[in-house]
């Protein structure tokens, strides 16, 4: 086990160090263990935070976790294979560094796992459960785990029932991306909303509407999707069939954005010269098509790693952990054709 566990000084944890340094717990772990791949200014910020918080390795805690052979359950179900690949990679990497064992349970076809499957997972000896998006919003599942007295970390959503949460600010992220489209000069914007049963979908739509409403004369059109590629195809066709089609389409995840690019190509529209397309998540789907997508980076691996760390060590910094997002500029964005008329 390479991770050095900690509850040193005044109760500081690796989560507290990460927050103070403005990095992920995974980065703090790399600095503590003298691993490569960390910029010098980042390493210095982490070391400053360690000194300020009087954080030191707690070898007794390390031995305790090793002795009990902590086992973490991960329950997941998501229509985006790219999303889950990124998320599960983070889960496996962090569990390996922490010396924890994993037990995975997949909920098939968007349904909740059967009660018998959950009981088998608990009987396997798990000491905590990570609920991957969108299962963190499944009240019956959370209620069952609470009744079984199993610690839970919810990823991708904020809840008010006491569980630990790891997420980004979806509204702010969508606002920032929409402002970027407006800054490029786009005034006819399309938006493809995600699954209406997920709070992240509503927050992303709210961020889009907020930004678009700040500039007079902006036309917006919204089409409903469900985070799947197929729903992106349908929504993209609907937006481009309108009398005044958008010059830029913002899809609530990369899979749906990739579908819009496919629709555009089928209509012989050049992306981005004829149509700008942007996504959300920064999964492998964003870079396995042409042109690669400009998108919101949701740090899925860091979110997964933080969830594992919280289950193993707890936190002194509150229950709702909001990680930073980032806009990633690639080749799918450009000013609208009308602004390039004089080229």
Show the low-confidence residues of the chain (pLDDT under 50).
1-10, 57-68, 343
User: Assign residue 64 a region: left if phi > 0, alpha if psi is -120 to 50, beta otherwise?
Assistant: alpha
Instruction: Tokens for 21, please give them.
Output: 């340094």
Q: Which homologous superfamily does the CATH classification assign to the domain defined by 64-168+299-324?
A: Response regulator (3.40.50.2300)
Tell me which H or E stretch contains 231.
Answer: helix 229-240
The mean pLDDT of the chain is 85
Q: In this structure, are residues 71 and 126 in contact, taking their beta carbons and an 8 Å threshold?
A: yes
pLDDT at 99: 81
- The residue behind tokens 């772990």 is 29
Q: In this structure, are residues 153 and 25 in contact, taking their beta carbons and an 8 Å threshold?
A: no
Task: Give all strands (DSSP E) within the chain, no chain letters.
Answer: 71-76, 101-106, 128-131, 152-155, 164-167, 188-193, 219-224, 248-251, 276-281, 294-297, 320-322, 326-328
Cα 46-52-56 angle, rounded to 5 deg: 75
- How distant is the alpha carbon of residue 252 from its chain centre? 12
Q: In terms of DSSP bridges, do strands 294-297 and 320-322 run parallel, antiparallel, or are they unpaired?
A: unpaired
Whether the domain at 64-168+299-324 and the domain at 170-298+328-340 fall into the same CATH topology: yes
Longest dimension (CA), the chain: 70
- Cα(113)–Cα(118) distance, integer angstroms: 7
Q: Provide the b/e sequence for 235-247 (b: ≥16 CB within 10 Å).
A: bbebbbeeeebbb
pLDDT at 168: 95
pLDDT at 316: 56
- How distant is the alpha carbon of residue 208 from its chain centre? 18
Q: Where are the alpha helices (DSSP H) in 9-98?
A: 14-21, 25-32, 40-53, 59-68, 81-98
**What is the three-class DSSP state of 267?**
coil
Q: In this structure, are residues 46 and 27 in contact, taking their beta carbons and an 8 Å threshold?
A: yes
pLDDT digits (tens, 9 = 90+) for 121-139: 887 888 889 998 888 888 8
pLDDT at 287: 94
User: Assign residue 318 a region: left if phi > 0, alpha if psi is -120 to 50, beta otherwise?
Assistant: left
**What is the three-class DSSP state of 185?**
coil
Helical axes 25-32 vs 14-21, angle rounded to 10°: 100
Q: Which homologous superfamily does the CATH classification assign to the domain defined by 1-63?
A: lambda repressor-like DNA-binding domains (1.10.260.40)
Q: In this structure, are residues 84 and 41 in contact, taking their beta carbons and an 8 Å threshold?
A: no
Tell me the domain boundaries of the chain.
1-63, 64-168+299-324, 170-298+328-340
CATH number for the domain running over 170-298+328-340:
3.40.50.2300
Q: What is the pTM of this model?
A: 0.77
**Cα radius of gyration (the chain):** 22
Cis peptide before 291 (omega within 30 of 0): yes
Q: Provide the b/e sequence for 308-337 (b: ≥16 CB within 10 Å).
A: bbbbbbebeeeeebebebeebebebbbbbe
pLDDT at 342: 52
pLDDT at 80: 78
């Amino acid at each position: 086990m390479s991770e050095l566990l900690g509850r040193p000084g005044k109760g500081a944890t690796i989560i507290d160090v990460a927050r103070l340094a403005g990095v992920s717990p995974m980065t703090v772990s790399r600095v503590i263990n003298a691993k490569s791949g960390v910029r010098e200014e980042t390493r210095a910020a982490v070391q400053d935070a360690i000194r300020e918080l009087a954080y030191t390795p707690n070898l007794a805690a390390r031995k305790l976790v090793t002795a009990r052979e902590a086992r973490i359950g991960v329950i997941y179900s998501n229509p985006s294979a790219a999303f889950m690949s990124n998320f599960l990679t983070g889960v496996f990497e962090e569990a390996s560094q922490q010396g924890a064992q994993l037990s995975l349970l997949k909920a098939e076809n968007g349904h909740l796992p059967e009660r018998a499957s959950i009981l088998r997972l608990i009987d396997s000896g798990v000491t905590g459960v990570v609920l991957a998006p969108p299962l963190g919003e499944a009240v019956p599942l959370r209620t069952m785990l609470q009744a079984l007295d199993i610690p839970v970390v919810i990823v991708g959503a904020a809840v008010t029932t006491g569980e630990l949460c790891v997420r980004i600010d979806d509204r702010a992220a969508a606002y920032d991306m929409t402002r970027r489209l407006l800054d490029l000069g786009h005034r006819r914007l399309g938006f493809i909303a995600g699954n209406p049963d997920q709070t992240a979908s509503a927050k992303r739509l709210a961020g889009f509407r907020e930004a678009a409403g700040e500039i007079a004369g902006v036309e917006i059109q919204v089409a409903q999707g469900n985070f799947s590629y197929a729903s992106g195809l349908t929504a993209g066709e609907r937006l481009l069939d309108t009398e005044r089609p958008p010059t830029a389409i913002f899809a609530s995840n990369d899979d749906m954005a990739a579908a819009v690019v496919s629709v555009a190509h089928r209509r012989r529209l050049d992306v981005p010269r004829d149509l700008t397309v942007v996504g959300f998540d920064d999964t492998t789907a964003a870079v396995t098509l042409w042109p690669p997508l400009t998108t919101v980076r949701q740090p899925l691996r860091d979110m997964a790693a933080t969830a594992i760390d919280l289950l193993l060590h707890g936190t002194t910094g509150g229950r709702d952990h909001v990680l930073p997002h980032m806009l990633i500029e690639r080749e799918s964005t450009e000013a609208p054709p009308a602004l390039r008329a004089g080229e």
